[in-house]
Amino acid sequence: MADAVDGSLADGGRRGWAIRHWAGLRNGVVILVVWEFLGRFGLVAGGALPAPSAILARFWLDRGDYPEHVVATLWGASAGFLIGNAIAVLAGMLFVLSPVASRLSRGINIAIFSVPSIAISPILVLTLSGMAPRIVLAAISCYFVTMTATVIGLTQIDQRTADVIRAYGGGRWKVMRLVRLRSAMPVILGGLQVAAPNAVLGAILAEFGGGGRWGLGNYLLGSLGRADPARLWGIGLVATAIAGLAYLVFALISQRVTGASRAVTVTTSVPPLRAAGGDNTVAKVLLVAGSIALPLILWWVFVKALGVPELIARTPYGVFEHLFLLDSSPAARAKLLQALAQTLPITLVGMAAGLAAAFLLAVSSRLYPGVTRAFMPIALFTQTMPLIATIPLLVLLLGRGWSVTLWITISVTFFPAFITLAQGISMVPRAALDVPRAYGASAWKEMRLVSIPASLPYLFAATRLTVPRALLGVMIAEWLATGKGLGNLLNQSRGYLDYGMIWTVATVSVLVSIAFYQLVVVAERRVLGRLGMQTAE
Amino acid sequence: MNRNIDRRHFMALMGAGAAAPLLARHASAAAPLTMQAAWINDAEFTGYFTAIDNGYYKDEGLDLTYLSGGPDLIPESSIIAGKADLALTTPDTTIKAIVDQGAKFKIIGAQYQKNPHGIISLAKNPIHSPKELVGKTLAVPPVNVISVEVMLRANGIEPSQVNIVPYAYDPTPLIKGEIDASLDFTTNVPFTIKQQSAEAVSFLLYDFGYTIFNDAIVVTDDTLAAKRKELVAWLKASRKGWEENLRDPSVYPPKFADTWFKGTGRSIENEVYFNTAQKPLIESPKGILSLTEDSIAKTIDALSKAGIKARRDMFDTTLLEEV
Amino acid sequence: MSAQRGIRIDNVSKTFSARGKRIEALKNVSLDCAPGSFTALIGPSGCGKSTILRLALGLEVADTGSVEIGGEAPRNATSAGVTGVAFQDAALLPWRSVEANLALPLDVLGLERARYAGKIASLIELVGLAGFEKALPGELSGGMRQRVAIARALVTDPSVLFLDEPFGALDQILRRQMNIELQRIWTETKATALLVTHGIDEAVFLADKVVVMQSRPGRIARVIDVPFERPRRTNLFSDPRFHALNDEIATVLHG
C-alpha cells in the first residue's frame, strides 16, 4: 500500500519489486500471527483485544446485517467525497489563480479544517435532515486536505515551464491548464488518498449521532452495549476496507503519474524575485479583515438561510451575547476558561507528538519500505475506526490520563501529515539524489542531506495539517476518556440543551486552532523565505 | 415561512434531496404526526412499534412518522426545529431548557414512571447504595453527570469523593474491572454482563432520592394548540400499544426481528430481557403514559435539589384526561 | 515567413527585491537589434542579461523605459506568435512526448496542431531527433533535451528568436556542434536572434554584435561588432582573428 510513497519503485525493476512486496507480505503475516496469539490468549487488556480469527468468526455470523449498513455508509461517504473534493479542487485552482481570493478565504479554510467534527456533528444534525448531515460532514472532512494538496501541487511547479507558456503570451489560465493541473496530479491524488478515509469516518460519525437506522455508525452504536469487541472491530475493519479500497485506487493512479511528473533536473531558477514596491498596506489590512469577516458572514448566512430557530442555531452575535452580555455570562466564561486551561497544555504536547510520529514514519517509509507497507493497513485502520469503538481497549491499556490523550491525539493527527511528508520526500528530483549517491552516501545520509531539506515545504504543510487537528484529538480524548476540558464541556452542554455553550465551544476551538495555524504560517514564511523556497500555501 | 421547504431546497442543492426519507407519507387522508424517539430502535420503544404494526395509530386517524434517535440527536431540538411534533426526552434536560433558555415546552405524559437509570456494578465487586461509591471509579455519560451529583448530594456524599469518568456506552471497562460501576439503563446492561459470564448488581437513582420519571412526552406550546386532537389520539394509541406489548413482554420483540430491530446490532434475547425488566417501571395504576400529581410533585422536588426550578405549569395533564 | 522585426530597448531600468534587499538589475539600458540580426548578450552572473530577455518576452515589466518588438509591446508580440524562445535547461514538460512538447507553443497560442504536423516532423528531423518523436524527456540525454527546446522555439516560424543560455548544460564538443547547427537553422529562418550566453567563443561564433554587460547595477559596458563573413565554419574556431576578438571581449568582461 505504501507504493505511492515509495518513489524508488520506478527505478527498481521487476526483481526489486518482488523482493519489496515479499518483505511487506512477510511483515504483514508476522503482525497477524502475533495479533492472533495475543488475542487468542487474552494477553492484551484482559482480552479486550479480540483475535483476528474471533473477528472473522463474528463477521461471518453478522454477515446478514452488513450489506444495508455498508450501502448506506458508502452512499453518504461517496457523495460527500465527490462533493467535498470537487469543491476542494476548484477552490484550490481559484486560490492559485487569484491570490486575493486565496487570502480572503484563508479564514474559512482554516475554520473548515479545524472545526472539531464532534462539535459540528450535533450542529449539522440540528440544522439538516436525512442524509444531508452525513454528506456534509464527509465533504467537510475531505475539503481541507484536498484543497491544500491542490494548492501545493499547483504552486510547486517547475517555474521554467511556466515561463515557456508565458513567453508565448499565455496567461494564468493557460499556465493552469497546460502546466499546473497535470503537474499537480500526484499531489492531488495524494490528497484524495487521505480524503478517502476522512470521508468514511466523517459519514460514520454523522450516522453515529444522527438518529438514522442504516450505516456502519448506527450499527456501531447499537453494538456498543454488547461488550463484544469482536463485533466492534469487525465494523471498524469493514470501514477500513472501504477506505482502504479507495486509498489503494488513488495510490495506484498516483504511482502511474508520479514518474512522469518529476522534473528531470533540479530547478535552479526558483527564487521568484518580486518586483520592488507595490505593497499596499491598506489593501493588506482590508484582505485580513475580509478573511476574518467572511467565515462569520457565511456562518450567519448559513444559520439564517436554513431558517432554524434562534434558540438552536446561534449567530456570531449569539455567541458573543452568550459570553459577554447575559447574566449567566460570567459563569459561562469561567467554565470556558477552566476548560481551556485543562485542554491547551496537553494540546501543545500532542501536536509535537503527532508531528514526530508522522516524521518518523515518513522517513522510515523511505528507508524501510517493507516495514511501512506492513504498517499501512494499521495506520489506515486508525483513521477509519471510530475511536469510540477502541476506547475500552485504550482505557484498559493506558488508563484515563495523559497517555491515553496523547495516544488519541497522535492517532488523529499523524496520518495526513505522514502522507504529505512522504509525498514531499518522493517528489525530490532524481538529479538531487544522484549527488549523495555518487559519493556513496548511505540511505540515511541521503535523507538527511537532500530529501529532508528538499521537502521542507512539505514539512511545513504537514505541520499546518497537524496543528489544528491536535486540538480535535485532545477534545475527543476528553469526551470519551478523561472527562475534562473543552471536549467534556461540549458534551455536557449538549445534555443541558445549552445551545449557547455548544456554539461557543465550537467557535472557541476553531479560534484556538486558527491561532496555532497562523503561528505555523509565520514560522514557515520566515524559514522558507530565508532558504529561497516557495511556501506551499 | 415554511421551514421544511427551505430545508428541502438546501438538500436539493447538496444533491441529497432524493435520499431524504423525511415525511414522505402524506398521501392518505389521515392526519400526519411525527414523533422523535430518544435513542436507536431498541426495546425502550417496543410499545410504539406494536401500535404502529397493529394499526392502532391508523385506527385513531393518525399517519405517524417515527424518527429514531441517537447520541448527537437532542430530541427537544427536533420539535423546536419543526422536524417532529412530539419528542421523548429526559425531563431534567427539558425543564432546564424551559427555565434557562425560555423554551416553550409542555410535558404531556411520561413513559417511565420510574427512571430506569441506575448504578450498575459487578456482583464480585458489588455496590448496593450511594454510600459504597465513595472512593470508587464511576463511569457516567457526561450528559447525566448532573443527575448523579444530585443523587450523591441527596445521600450526604460530596461528588468529589467519587471518581467520575466519562462513559461511552460500552460496558467492557466495567466487565474488565477498569471502572467499579457505571450509570446506565438497569433494564439493559445487566443482560450484557450476564452474556459475558459475570453477574451484575444495580440500584436505581430513583430509589435513592432522584425521584424523576423518564422519557417525558414533550411538545411545544404551538403544537399543543394546533394539534391537540392528534396528540390525544397519539396518547390513546400509544397506551394501547404498550398495554398490548407488556401483556407478555416476550411476544413482540421477536416479531420485530426483521423490521424494527433489523440491523441494530443488538440481539432479540437482549430486547426480551429489556422489555421484561422495564414492565414494572412503565406500568401505572392510572394507566400507561400517565402523569400523576404524585409523580409530578416528586419530579419537581428531585429537580429542585439539582437547582432546577420546575413548576407545575410546565406539565399538562389535561390531554391524558381526555384519553 | 512572417515580416522581419527588430528589438528595441530604450533606456530601461528594473529593480527587484529579494529577502529584503533591493537589487538594481538594470540601469538605463538601451539596445537596438536590427531585423534579421544576431545579437549576443554576455556578462557575469547577475548583470541583468536574462532580465533583458525576460523584459523583451513580457515576463517582466520595466520600471522605466520601453521595450518594443517590431514596434509592438512585448505582450502583444508574444501572444501574436511573433517570438520563439528556448530557455536554459530545456524546460520541457516531463509528461509530454518530444512531439507534444514541440506542440506546446501551438497549444498556448490556440493554433491547430494538425496543421503543423509536417512542420513538427521536419523540425525533429532538423535537430536530429528522428525516431524519438514519442520519447518522454526523462528518456533523453541532456543534449537531446536541449535540441528539443531549440526545435520548440522554431515551431511557430518566429521572426524574433530568444535563446537564454540554450547550451549552458552541454559539453564543449556538443556545444560546438550545436552552435554550427544553430547557425544553419538561423540562416534558414532569417529571424532576429537575441542570445544570452556565458561563452565568449559561442557569442563570437554566432553573433553579428556582442553586447558585454557588467553588474551592480546591470549595464552595458561595450558593444563589439563581429566582422566575420557568413556562413562561418568550424575552422573559424582556430582563426587568430577569432582569438583576438575573444581576448578583447574577455578584457572588457574582467576589466
Question: How high is the ipTM of this complex?
Answer: 0.84
Q: CB–CB of A160 and C83 under 8 A?
A: no
Q: What grid cell was written down for B219?
A: 411538545
* C/B touch flag: 3 or more CB pairs below 8 Å: no
C-alpha cell at B322: 381526555
Q: What is the pLDDT of residue A14?
A: 53
d(CA A151, CA A187): 9
Cis status of the peptide bond prior to C231, with omega within 30 of 0? yes
Cell numbers at residue C136, please? Answer: 518522454
Is residue C66 situated within a structural domain? yes
| Lookup result for grid cell 474559512 | A108
Q: For residue range A440-493, list pLDDT tens digits in order.
A: 777 777 777 777 777 788 888 888 878 878 888 899 899 888 888 998 898 888
CB contact under 8 A, B101 and A497: yes
| Among C24, C45, C89, the residue to mutate for chain A (most A Cβ within 10 A) | C89
Helix axes A117-127 and A499-531, enclosed angle (nearest 10)? 130
* Averaged pLDDT score across all residues of chain B: 88
Looking at the complex, report in whole angstroms how far the Cα of residue C103 sits from the nearest Cα belonging to chain A.
11
Name which of A159, A264, A427, A434 to mutate to probe chain C: the one with the most chain C Cβ atoms within 10 A of its Cβ.
Answer: A264
- Taking the CA of residue B292 and the nearest CA in chain A, the distance in Å comes to 25
At which residue does the C-alpha cell 440500584 appear?
B203
pLDDT at A17: 59
Cβ <8 Å between B72 and A125: yes
Domain annotation covers residue C112: no
Give the helix ranges, DSSP H, for A49-180: 52-61, 66-97, 99-104, 106-114, 117-127, 132-155, 159-167, 172-175
In a domain, C105, yes or no: no
Q: What is the pLDDT of residue B179?
A: 93
Whether residues C19 and A265 touch (CB distance < 8 A) is answered with: no
Tell me what the mean pLDDT of segment B253-268 comes to: 92
CB contact (8 A) between residue B7 and residue A492: no
| Residues with Cβ within 8 Å of residue B93, at least 6 apart in sequence | A495, A496, A497, B74, B76, B143
Query: Closest chain A residue to C93 measured between Cα atoms?
Result: A161
Domains and CATH numbers, chain B: 3-19+30-114+213-322 (3.40.190.10), 121-208 (3.40.190.10)
Across the interface, whether the CB atoms of B10 and A212 are under 8 A apart is answered: no
**What is the number of structural domains in chain C?**
1
The larger pLDDT score, comparing residue A95 to residue B23, is at A95
CB contact under 8 A, B40 and A400: no
Q: How many residues does chain A have?
A: 537
Percentage of residues in chain A having pLDDT higher than 70: 88
Nearest to C161 by CA among C201, C202, C190: C190
- pLDDT tens digit sequence for B308-318: 899 999 999 99
Look at B265 and A388 and tell me if their CB atoms are within 8 Å.
no
Q: Of A69, A227, A479, which is closest to B192 when you measure between CB atoms?
A: A227
**Nearest residue on chain A to C62, alpha-carbon basis:** A275
Sheet of B200-204: strands edge to edge?
A: B163-166, B137-140, B181-185, B117-122, B200-204
DSSP A263: -
B 277-316 residues inside an 8 A Cβ radius of A: none
Nearest to C94 among A263, A275, A529 (CB): A263
* Residue range of the domain that includes C171: 7-82+158-254
Q: Is C12 an 8 Å CB contact of chain A?
A: no
pLDDT tens-place values along chain C, 255 residues long: 445 788 999 989 988 876 667 888 888 899 999 999 999 999 888 788 888 998 998 888 889 999 999 888 888 888 888 888 888 777 888 889 999 999 998 988 888 888 989 989 988 988 888 899 898 888 888 888 888 998 898 888 888 999 988 887 777 887 888 888 889 888 888 889 999 998 899 999 999 999 999 888 888 989 999 988 888 888 898 899 999 999 999 999 886
Q: Do chains B and A touch (3 or more CB pairs under 8 A)?
A: yes
Q: How many CA atoms lie within 13 A of A101 on its CB side?
A: 10
pLDDT band at B23 (very low <50, low <70, confident <90, very high): very low
Q: Is residue C255 within 8 angstroms of chain A, CB to CB?
A: no
CATH number of the domain at C40, please: 3.40.50.300
Cα–Cα dist C60/C54, whole Å: 6
Q: Rounded to a whole number, what is the distance in Å from the CA of A297 to chain B's nearest CA?
A: 18
Q: Do B265 and A226 lie within an 8 Å CB cutoff? A: yes
* B152, three cell numbers: 450523591
Question: Is the bond into A295 cis (omega within 30 degrees of 0)?
Answer: no
Q: Give the nearest chain C residue to A160 (CA atoms).
A: C91
| Grid cell digits, residue B288 | 400507561
Other chains touching A, judged by 3 or more CB pairs under 8 Å: B, C
The predicted pLDDT at position A260 comes to 58
- Shortest Cα distance, chain B CAs vs residue A216, angstroms: 10
Asked if residue C162 belongs to a domain, the reply is: yes
Q: Are A523 and A517 in contact (CB under 8 A)?
A: no
* Beta carbon pairs, A and C, within 8 Å: 103
- Chain A positions in Cβ-Cβ contact with residue C156 (cut-off 8 Å): 168
Q: Which pLDDT score is estimated for A222? A: 86
Mean pLDDT in residue range B57-65 = 95
To the nearest whole Å, the CA of A216 is away from the closest chain C CA by 42
Asked if residues C235 and C67 have their Cβ atoms less than 8 Å apart, the reply is: no
C60 part of contact set with chain A, CB < 8 Å: yes
Contact by Cβ (8 Å): C155, C99: no
Domains located in chain A, CATH noted? 39-44+68-263+282-531 (1.10.3720.10)
- Please write the tens of the pLDDT for every residue from A306-363: 877 888 888 899 999 999 998 889 999 999 999 999 999 999 999 999 989 888 888 8
Q: Which residue from A514, A489, A480 is spatially nearest to A332, judged by alpha carbons?
A: A489
Q: State pTM to two decimals.
A: 0.82
Q: Residue type at A174?
A: K
Rounded (to 5) percent helix, strand, coil in chain B: 45, 15, 35
Q: Can you read off the three cell numbers belonging to residue B110? A: 411520561
Q: Is residue C196 in some structural domain?
A: yes
Cell numbers that stand for A517 in this block = 495555524
Residue C110 lies in a domain: no
In a domain, C116, yes or no: no
* Residues of chain B with C-beta less than 8 angstroms from the C-beta of A86: none
**Cβ contact, residue pair A276, C16, below 8 Å:** yes
Q: Which residues of C touch A178 (CB under 8 A)?
A: 93, 104, 107-108
Is position C135 within any domain? Answer: no
How many CB atoms neighbour CB B156 within 10 A? 8
β-strand partners of B67: B36
Query: CB pairs below 8 Å between A and B: how many?
Result: 223
Angle A426-A429-A431 (CA atoms, 0-180°, nearest 5)? 135
Nearest residue in chain A measured CA to CA from B72: A209
The list of chain A residues with pLDDT below 50 reads 1-13, 265-278, 537
Does B19 have pLDDT greater than 50? no
With beta carbons under 8 A apart, name residues in chain B contacting A306: 3, 6-7, 10
Question: Of all residues in chain B, what percent carry a pLDDT higher than 90?
Answer: 68
> Can you give the pLDDT at residue B248?
96
Before C217, cis peptide (omega within 30)?
Answer: yes
Contact between A271 and C18 using a beta-carbon 8 Å cutoff: yes
The pLDDT-based confidence of B120 (bands split at 50, 70, 90) is very high
Q: Which helix (H) or strand (E) holds C235?
A: none
CB distance A170 to A179 below 8 Å: no
Residue C226 near residue C210, CB atoms below 8 Å: yes
Question: What residues 221-240 of chain C have any CB closer than 8 A to a CB of chain A?
Answer: none
